[in-house]
Chains A and B, each alone.
Chain A
Amino acid sequence: MPGAKPPFEDLYRDYVGRIYAYLRSQLGSAVDAEDVTSQVFVKAYEAYARYEPRHATPSAWLFQIARNAALDFHRRSGRRQRMERTLAREPAPAADPGDLAQERILYGELMEAVARLPDRQREVIGLRHSGLSFLEVGQVMGCSEDAAKMLYHRALRLLRSGLPAETP
């Protein structure tokens, strides 16, 4: 779905929160999510002159960068060990306590459950719920739209099986 190339600031304002949420679901830590979000937008900023809207939507382009950055992060740090350590520890003291408390109460458990999913299922949940279409999810993950749908529903089943019912 090619379109006009928006100013980078517009892209940044539209996507910084969504990229952060995606990375939060992939990395499990608010601090790591901030660090990698910064890396994503620095890379995007430097590469924006070469970005061609004909080839990818801004959303697919940015989330591709974010996915690669998350994969790099996991490769560098040893994903499993870091994830377990992250989920076990207290929220980072640098973060706003009020924000973290609210997030933890409302959706913290759900996001932690997403973070524990196998890699590709975690990615598909993160991308899909960051607002990407299945076509875009397939583009980012390097698979077809149908394969992205199948992967997503398997991830939902796995996630549902491991979560308690929502308290009213």
Chain B
Amino acid sequence: MSDLHEPGTEELERRLDAAFQSTRPRRGFEDELWARLRARRPWWRRLGDGLQLPWGRVAAGIVTVALVGLVAVLLRAGATPHGGAATTAAAPASGRVNAPAAAPASTAGLPFGRLPAPAGAGVVQALRPSGPSALPPGGQRVDAGSASLPVVGPRLAVYRFDPASGPAAGSVLDPGQLPAGLQSGFYPSRPPADAAAGAGAADQSVALTQVRLAYVAVVAGDRGYLEPVYVYTGTAGGGPVQLLVSALDPAALQ
């Protein structure tokens, strides 16, 4: 070690080297200290070590999930009426008539609470040039057996709008006519086969031959809703008629 050659120096250096090399902490100290150092690491790294997680794969998995979620959101946004992006209220937005089955956004499954029932729903209306009007009371026997029923998913989108700037109450809009950018929420649907039942027992025969899903504007106070309805059309007494039936589960309505 030394470049000076005094007598006995090399021997002393040799003994010093040996002394330092043989001086080591007690058994177990090295591992104990390392464990303490590891314990000082951030919790997420300790957790990863404890679970033996390959962090590179975990990160890749997180990125993949995020991308899939992003794509799903973009796809849904792209399917809103007129291609506009609807915002959601505790539920995913969708302008699709037949919305996919989706988990309720709230525990009650009613993002906007119970909705006001559409005015005139369940009443057969004569379609006149001046607008639809209810047939005279007395009951009708509705036969919707020949109507080709639409395929509807278990949940349907409801849109909320400002009555001051939205469609007039009672307006019936096809899904493609809905304004873009409305806040939406999913509600449980009512099967179309059940919808026409109970529309009335009757003396006057009403033959409903077509049915489609549309949206009707419902205004209650300062809130407006575009609620999905089945629009049955047909004839009664030689004239055209229509019957609106809410496409939502009755439990979702006030």
Contact = CB atoms under 8 A, between A and B. Distances in A.
Contacts of A94: 26
B33 A166 contact: no
Contact of A166 (B15, B22, B30, B34): B15
B249 to A, nearest CB: 58
A153 interface: yes
Interface in A46-90: 46
B30 A17 contact: yes
A37 B15 contact: no
Interface in B9-45: 9, 11-13, 15-27, 29-30, 33-34, 36-37, 40
Q: Contact residue range for chain B?
A: 20 to 34
Given A9-B34, A37-B33, A42-B37, A160 B12 contact: yes
A95 B23 CA distance: 13
A21 B37 contact: no
Given A12-B34, A152-B2, A159-B12, A37 B20 contact: no
Given A21-B21, A45-B37, A156 B15 contact: no
A17 B15 CA distance: 18
A107 B22 contact: yes
B1 interface: yes
B33 A41 contact: yes
Contacts of B17: 129
B4 interface: yes
B203 interface: no
Interface in A7-37: 9, 12-13, 16-18, 20-22, 24-25, 30, 33-34, 37
A20 B40 CA distance: 21
B116 to A, nearest CB: 61
Contacts of A17: 24-25, 30
B194 interface: no
B42 to A, nearest CB: 12
B26 A95 contact: yes
Most buried by A among B9, B23, B40: B23
Interface in A116-168: 125-126, 128-130, 149, 152-153, 156-157, 159-160, 163, 166
Contacts of A149: 3
A24 B23 contact: yes
A21 B24 contact: yes
B8 A25 contact: no
Nearest to B13: A156
Given A38-B36, A41-B33, A160-B9, A96 B26 contact: yes
Contact of A25 (B18, B20, B26): B20
B137 to A, nearest CB: 83
A34 B25 contact: yes
Contacts of B12: 156, 159-160, 163
Interface in A86-110: 94-96, 99, 102-103, 106-107, 110
Nearest to A9: B34
Interface of B: 1-4, 6, 8-9, 11-13, 15-27, 29-30, 33-34, 36-37, 40
